[in-house]
Amino acid sequence: MAQREVVAVDIGGTHARFAIARLSEDGSIQLEEPETLHTEDHASFQTAWEEFQDRKGGTLPKAVSMAIAGPVGGDVIRFTNNPWVIRPALVTSKLGVERFTIVNDFEAVAHAVARAPDDQFLHLTGPEGPLPEEGRISVIGPGTGLGVAHLYRDADHYQVQATEGGHVDFAPLDQIEDAILARLRKRHNRVSVERVVSGPAIVDIYQTLAAMEKKAVTERDDVDLWTSGTSGEDSLAAAAVDRFCLSLGSVAGDLALAQGGFGGVVIAGGLGYRIRETLVGSGFAERFRAKGRFESLMASIPVKLITHPQPGLFGAAAAFQRQHEG
């Protein structure tokens, strides 16, 4: 079976991940083992590309698909959390490729959701069984920020739409979330859901809970809090993780209602995968359903977590395949 090779790249604020993807005529995609580079170690995407090229013996396929953390339109693409820029008009000459695709990073994740096999999804709540072949699916990914996209598919077609759903207003449901909102309002006049449902948000959640219990706590970063909270070694950090799961359930349900994601909801991203066991046993499902008159509708929506180890790279390859070979 004939195959085409493309370099898939997933570029965030801290890391740039590269992998050779093989695209088969039957639509299947195979990824080689990824290589991860630190963005701070490279002056530009081109120098990072050259480093990957050296690691691969000096030769790369003549095609690239990039998933980028930031807006992808315009003559100059700037990243949200690193100083690199990409000028699409110069991609072929700078990288020595003949064809390329550039998509938003979470748009790539939605492509991965559309293409990943059923065994790469973990069931969280709602009806069990595979995601439906037809309908709209909301895709939500807590990480450094909150990625949101959706896709619509029928039996032989799908369409992905990236959004900025992570920036809708946060709506507290109880006194603890009122206190979290009050803390955040001291720094942000408008508090979006990304301020509460993202990796760094665990710090504000933890500090709010500590203040409610009148506990003096030392400054701790989000990595430390996620580690001690998910392991259970720190009860207050564990409570903050549980609170995060509740808020994630509420936000996921709100976004499904807003997007019409009644075919399913998929939680994506490294943080979602890291807390997958906590999510299953938390109040996530109850909060997802808690939409008043629409509770029965919410209970009918399957909610999954994608477990593909590299959804950004896999999705970037799928986006290239769809653009150039679909």
Residue set of the binding site for ATP? 9-14
Distance between CA atoms of 213 and 94, rounded to whole angstroms? 56
Residue ranges of the annotated binding site are 9-14
Q: Where are the alpha helices (DSSP H) in the chain?
A: 45-55, 91-95, 105-115, 175-185, 202-212, 222-231, 235-259, 270-274, 276-281, 284-289, 295-299, 311-325
Beta bridge partners of 160: 151
Show the tokens assigned to 40. Answer: 């701070």
Distance between CA atoms of 105 and 8, rounded to whole angstroms? 12
> What 3-state class would DSSP assign to 89?
helix
Show the tokens assigned to 171. Answer: 């709506």
What backbone phi and psi angles, to 5 degrees, belong to 39?
-65, -35
Residue 70 parent element (H or E):
none
311-325 and 105-115 helices cross at what angle (nearest 10)?
80
Show the tokens assigned to 47. Answer: 């120098």
